[in-house]
Structure 1
Amino acid sequence: MGAYIRNIVIEGPDARALATFYAELLGMKIIREDWLVVAKDEESFPRLAFDENPDYQPPRWPDPAYPQQMHLDLHVDDPEKAQEVALRLGATRLPDLGGSCPVFADPAGHPFCLCGAGQ
């Protein structure tokens, strides 16, 4: 069938702020301005795209009444440095629930994990 993931779309109250956060965190760039899309370059997949919703309600980790619905597991070469960068960019460390990778929330509250080798 030849299918692949083209975009992972993330909703939030400020699409540009989220696109900037993930571009800097992942060492990527915003490759489309009309619909904010972040990628390594024009040919790379998957990409992150951002949809603005002024009525967005963030998940509340780990409250099942406000579920995460999805999260990103990001592989990083240097987990300690990646955690420092994430916090500097506005991420929040979330409570450890016994998983193998530390969990953070992006500036809009979406959970993501920063996983190193072997995690």
Structure 2
Amino acid sequence: MTGFPQLLHTVLDTTDVRGLAEFYRQLLGLQYRSGDEPGAEGFPDDVDWLVLTDAQGDRKLAFQQVQHLKRTTWPLPDVPMQMHLDLTVPDREALAHQHSRALALGAELLFDRTDDPNEPLFVYADPAGHPFCIFVG
């Protein structure tokens, strides 16, 4: 045997599969896997699993229905992050633009470290409460 397992996609739990998938679809410019689009024939509106891909069809994120999801309390330690997504932009101008977009799409600002001269960043919670960062990388 040779080789290593390959990462297929990252799965996020949510109480609103379509809503969270739509948030990340718009934020990251992704698309639904064929057949997962809203209103796809034979696909119910109350879905429990969706996949987003890039323009080449490579899986990037998936969303799984759960009945209850405890939001992180980060930076307080009561409910830790457990995992988060890191997203990069090329410069401060792009960071400011993506900050406005993230907020308009429903992200909640958790932390502003844009005064850092080496790695300015914002930390957000997505609509389900999952943390993610956007920083100049």
With over 3 angstroms needed to count, the CA separation of the structure-2 counterparts of 1:85 and 1:9, relative to structure 1, is same
What is the TM-score with the length of structure 2 in the denominator? 0.75
1:50 corresponds to which residue? Answer: 63
2:89 corresponds to which residue? Answer: 76
Report the residue type matching 2:14 in the other structure.
Answer: G
Q: Distance in 2 between matches of 1:84 and 1:8?
A: 25
1:9 corresponds to which residue? Answer: 11
Report the number of matched residues.
Answer: 116
Cα deviation 1:33-78 (Å, max 9, x = unaligned):
2631112135324x10001112111111212121110000011241
Structure whose alpha-carbon radius of gyration is higher: 2
Cα deviation 1:4-52 (Å, max 9, x = unaligned):
211100001101111000000001111152631112135324x100011
Q: Are 1:91 and 1:105, in contact at CA under 8 Å, matched by a contact in 2?
A: yes
Unaligned runs of 5+ in 2: 37-42, 44-48
Matches within 5 A, 1:1-119: 1-32=3-34, 33=36, 35-41=49-55, 43-45=57-59, 47-77=60-90, 78-96=94-112, 100=119, 101-117=121-137
Unaligned runs of 5+ in 1: none
Q: Distance in 2 between matches of 1:31 and 1:81?
A: 27
Deviation, 1:96, is: 4.1
Q: Are 1:31 and 1:42, in contact at CA under 8 Å, matched by a contact in 2?
A: no
Question: Which of 17-26 and 92-101 deviates more?
Answer: 92-101
